[in-house]
Amino acid sequence: MFLILASSASFAQRLDHQLDTLEVIDLRMENENLQVQKLNKAQITALQPEDVGQLLQRFVGVSLKSYGGLGGMKTISVRGINGNQTGIVVDGFSLQNAQTGQLDFSNIQTESIEKITLSIGGSQGFLNPISALIGGSCLSIETFESTFGMPTYQVRSALKGGSFGQIDSYLAVKMNNQRSFFSLMGKYREANGKYNFEIENGNQLYQGKRINNDFKEGFGGFSSGFRIGKKSIFRINDQFNQSDKGLPGAVILYNTISNQRLKNVTNQVNVDFTRFDQIFPFRVYASMRNEQLIYIDSTYLNTAGYLDNRYYNTHFVNGFSFRKLPIKRRDLDSMQYDLEIVKTKKLKLIYFGGIEQSYSLLNSNLPAILAPQRYQLKALLGTEKKWSRSNIILQVGEQYFSDKQSISGNNLKRFVFTPYASFQTEKWRSFIGGLNFWAKRSFRIPTFNELYYNALGNLSLKPEIANQFNIGNFHTFYIHRNQLKFRLDAYYNLVENKIVAIPTKNLFVWSIQNVGKAQVFGVDFQFNHTRNFSDLKLETNVNYSFQKVEDLSDKNSPTYKHQLPYLPQHTLNADFTVVYKSKSGITISGLATSSRYALNENIDANKINGFYVFDASIYHTFTFPKAQSLRLSLNVKNLLNQSYAFVRYYVMPGTNFLISLNYAIH
Amino acid sequence: MQFIKYILLISLFAVFFSCKKENEETIESPAILKNGMLVLNEGLFQLNNASLTWVDFGSGTTNDQFFTQKAGRLLGDTGNEMLRYGNKIYIVVNVSSTIEVLDAITGNSIKQISMQANGNSKQPRSIRFFGSKAFISCFDGFVDVMDTATFQIESRIPVGLNPDQMTISGQYLFVSNSGGLNAPVMDSTISVIDMIAKSELTKIVVGKNPGSIVTDYEGDVYVVTRGNYSTIPSRLNKIDQDEFIVLDSYDFDASKITLMNNRLLILNNNKVMLFNTDTDQLLDDNFINNPTINTLSNMYFRSSSQQIYLFDSKGYTNTGNILKYNVNGDFMSQYHVGLNPNSILIYD
Query: From CA B236, how far away is CA B256, in angstroms rounded?
Result: 9
CB B121 within 8 A of CB A259: no
pLDDT of residue A500: 64
The pLDDT of residue A469: 95
Nearest to A363 by CA among A457, A411, A293, A308: A293
Contact A255 B112 (CB under 8 A): no
A151 part of contact set with chain B, CB < 8 Å: no
pLDDT of residue B24: 55
Tens of pLDDT, residues A1-15? 233 233 333 333 333
Cβ atoms of residues A197 and A189 within 8 Å: no
Residue B22 has pLDDT above 80, yes or no: no
Q: Would you tell me how many other CB atoms lie within 10 Å of the CB of residue B281?
A: 10
For A150, A550, B305, B319, the CA distances from B325, given in Å and listed in that order, are 82, 36, 11, 20
What is the pLDDT at residue A434? 86
Higher-confidence position of A189 and A72: A189
A521 in contact with B at a CB cutoff of 8 Å? no
Q: Tell me: pLDDT of A531 over 50.
A: yes
Cα A141 to the chain's mean position, in Å?
A: 8
State the pLDDT confidence band at A390, using cuts at 50, 70 and 90.
Answer: confident
* Residue B208: predicted pLDDT: 94
Q: Looking at residue A391, what is its pLDDT?
A: 85
Residue A152 has a pLDDT of 83
HSE, CB side, 13 Å, CA atoms: give it for residue B225.
25
pLDDT in tens, A73-127: 888 888 988 788 888 899 999 988 888 877 788 878 888 899 999 988 766 667 7
Inter-chain CB proximity B64 and A455 less than 8 Å? no
- Predicted confidence at residue B58, as pLDDT, reads 93
Q: What is the DSSP letter of A545?
A: E
Q: Measuring CA to CA, which residue among A445, A294, A451, A446 is closest to residue A364? A: A294
Task: Note the pLDDT of residue A134.
Answer: 87
pLDDT at B41 over 90: yes
Q: Is the peptide bond before A326 cis (omega within 30 degrees of 0)?
A: no
Give B178-188 pLDDT, tens digit per residue. Answer: 998 988 889 99
- Which residues in B lie closer than 8 A to residue A506 (C-beta atoms)? 46
Residues of chain A found within 8 Å of residue B180, distances taken between Cβ atoms: none
Mutate which of A255, A429, A456 to test chain B, going by most B C-beta atoms within 10 A?
Answer: A255
pLDDT of residue A339: 43
pLDDT in the model for residue A105 = 84
pLDDT, position A512: 66
Nearest CB among A204, A513, A598 relative to B73 is that of A204
- Give the lowest-confidence range in A102-111, A173-182, A206-215, A312-321: A102-111
Examine the pLDDT at A20 and tell me if it is beyond 70: no
Q: What is the pLDDT of residue A479?
A: 87
Work out the average pLDDT over A271-298. 92
Residues above pLDDT 90, as percent of chain B: 83
pLDDT of residue A331: 58
Region A50-62: mean pLDDT is: 87
Residue A73 confidence (pLDDT): 85
Task: Work out the pLDDT band at A330, boundaries 50, 70, 90.
Answer: low
Contact status of A475 with chain B (Cβ, < 8 Å): yes
- Cβ–Cβ below 8 Å for B47 and A300: no
Residues ≥6 apart with Cβ < 8 Å to B40: B50, B51, B52, B79, B81, B82, B91, B341, B342, B343, B344
Query: Using the beta-carbon criterion (under 8 Å), do B68 and A203 form an inter-chain contact?
Result: yes
Long-range contacts of A197-201 (CB under 8 A, 24+ apart): A197/A251, A197/A643, A197/A651, A197/A653, A197/A654, A198/A643, A199/A251, A199/A643, A199/A645, A199/A649, A199/A651, A201/A253, A201/B73, A201/B74
- Tell me, what's the pLDDT at A338? 45
Instruction: Give B307's pLDDT tier (boundaries 50, 70, 90).
Output: very high
Q: What is the pLDDT of residue A477?
A: 86
For the segment B303-327, the average pLDDT, to the nearest whole number, is 94
Which residues, including other chains, have CB under 8 Å from residue A39's CB and lie 6 or more apart?
A: A47, A55, A58, A115, A116
Examine the pLDDT at A655 and tell me if it is beyond 80. Answer: yes
Q: What's the pLDDT at A455?
A: 44
CB A237 within 8 A of CB A221: yes
Name the pLDDT band for A554 (thresholds 50, 70, 90): confident
Q: What integer pLDDT is reported at residue A587 of this predicted model?
A: 94
Reported as a single tens digit per residue, the pLDDT across B104-130 is 999 999 999 999 998 899 999 999 999
Cβ-Cβ contacts under 8 Å, A502 against chain B:
317
In terms of pLDDT, which residue wins out, A83 or B20?
A: A83
One of 3.40.50.970, 2.40.170.20, 3.30.470.20, 3.40.50.11540 is the CATH number of A6-665, namely: 2.40.170.20
Chain B within 8 Å of A255 (Cβ-Cβ)? Answer: yes
Place A429 in a pLDDT band, splitting at 50, 70 and 90: low
Task: List chain B residues with CB under 8 Å of A648.
Answer: 47
User: B318: nearest CA in chain A?
Assistant: A601
**A250 close contact with B: CB closer than 8 A:** yes
Q: Do B318 and A604 touch (CB under 8 A)?
A: no
**Mean pLDDT, range A384-412, rounded to an integer:** 79
pLDDT at position B150 is 97
Q: Report the distance separating Cα A602 and Cα A535, nearest Å.
A: 51
Sheet of B331-339: strand order equals: B296-302, B307-312, B319-326, B331-339
Please write down the long-range contacts of B215-218, taking CB distance under 8 Å and 24 or more positions apart: B215/B167, B215/B168, B215/B169, B215/B174, B215/B241, B215/B259, B216/B259, B216/B262, B216/B264, B216/B277, B217/B259, B217/B261, B217/B262, B217/B277, B218/B277
Weakest mean pLDDT among A241-255, A396-410, A517-531, A547-561: A396-410
Give the CA diameter of chain B: 95
Q: Which stretch, A82-86, A434-438, B10-14, B16-20, has highest mean pLDDT?
A: A434-438
pLDDT at A4: 29
pLDDT, tens digit, 9 for 90 and up, residues A162-195: 999 999 999 999 999 888 999 999 999 999 999 9
Confidence of residue A501 (pLDDT cuts 50, 70, 90): low
- Indicate yes or no: CB of B47 within 8 angstroms of CB of A486: no
Q: Are A463 and A469 in contact (CB under 8 A)?
A: no
A203/B72 CB distance under 8 A: yes
A434-445 tens-digit pLDDT? 888 999 998 888
The pLDDT value recorded for residue A411 is 65
CB A523 within 8 A of CB A490: yes
Find out whether A281 and A273 touch, Cβ atoms under 8 Å.
no
pLDDT (tens digit per residue) in A374-385: 999 999 999 988
B82-105 burial, b for 16+ CB within 10 Å, e for fewer? bbbeeebbbbbbbbbbbbbbbebe
Q: Do A253 and B74 touch (CB under 8 A)?
A: yes
The whole-number pLDDT of residue A25 equals: 31
Q: Residue A18: is its pLDDT beyond 70? A: no
Q: The complex's ipTM?
A: 0.91
Q: Is the minimum CB–CB distance between A559 and chain B shorter than 8 Å?
A: yes
What is the predicted pLDDT for the residue at A32?
43
Q: Using CB atoms, which residue from A506, A523, A601 is nearest to B13?
A: A523
Residue A507 has pLDDT above 50, yes or no: no
**For position A182, what pLDDT does the model report?**
95
Q: How confident is the model at residue B295 (pLDDT cuts 50, 70, 90)?
A: confident
Quick one: average pLDDT of A313-322?
95
Q: What pLDDT, on the 0 to 100 scale, is given for residue A582?
A: 86
Model confidence band, residue B2 (pLDDT cutoffs 50, 70, 90): low
By mean pLDDT, which of A349-358, A507-516, B78-87 is the weakest?
A507-516
Among all residues of chain B, which has the CA nearest to that of A200? B73
